[in-house]
Amino acid sequence: MKIKMNFKKATLIAITMLISTTAFAQHRHYGHVHPYTYRPAVVTIVNRPAVTTHISNRLSKKDRLDMALAYLKNNKSLSISKYSKMTGLTKATAEAELDAFAFSNSSPIKIIMNGKKKLYVLA
């Protein structure tokens, strides 16, 4: 009985090894690049001078508030991306500034939510 079990185990191991070796012996296609061919790499290096420019925002906060109010007099609402493009601020800074305008008691700008989008309107 023990010999029969050992024979079955040995047969199973032999079959597994034969199957796995044929699976590993298959030809692999890695992007159809053959490793035995020489393909020189061409690298182009472009030297450009490092120019650092600092663009300051020449508009004061009051000027930007006046721009937003002038826009809202002609349009129904003002989005963050539109205000960002008008003033040259980043979207995060534009959103923070519009929120500050909206929460200020002296400013007539108020927030309305249109789904996930914040819009700013005249009160």
DSSP string for 56-115: ---S-HHHHHHHHHHHHHHSS-EEHHHHHHHHT--HHHHHHHHHHHHH-SS--EEEEEET
pLDDT at 87 over 80: yes
Query: Residue 121: helix, strand or coil by DSSP?
Result: strand
Structure tokens at 30: 């890695």
Percent of the chain at pLDDT above 70?
74
User: What Cα–Cα distance (Å) separates residue 46 from each residue in 4, 49, 50, 53, 71?
Assistant: 73, 10, 12, 20, 44
pTM of the predicted structure, to 2 decimals: 0.54
**Contact between residue 102 and residue 111 where contact means Cβ atoms under 8 Å apart:** yes
pLDDT at 116 over 60: yes
Identify which of 104, 105, 101 has the alpha carbon closest to the alpha carbon of residue 118: 101
pLDDT tens figures, 25-83: 555 655 555 556 666 677 777 776 666 555 556 788 999 999 999 999 999 999 999 99
pLDDT at 95: 94
The amino acid sitting at 34 is H
pLDDT at 15: 83
**Contact between residue 98 and residue 89 where contact means Cβ atoms under 8 Å apart:** no
The amino acid sitting at 84 is S
In order of their start, the domains of the chain are 63-122 (1.10.10.10)
pLDDT at 1 over 70: no
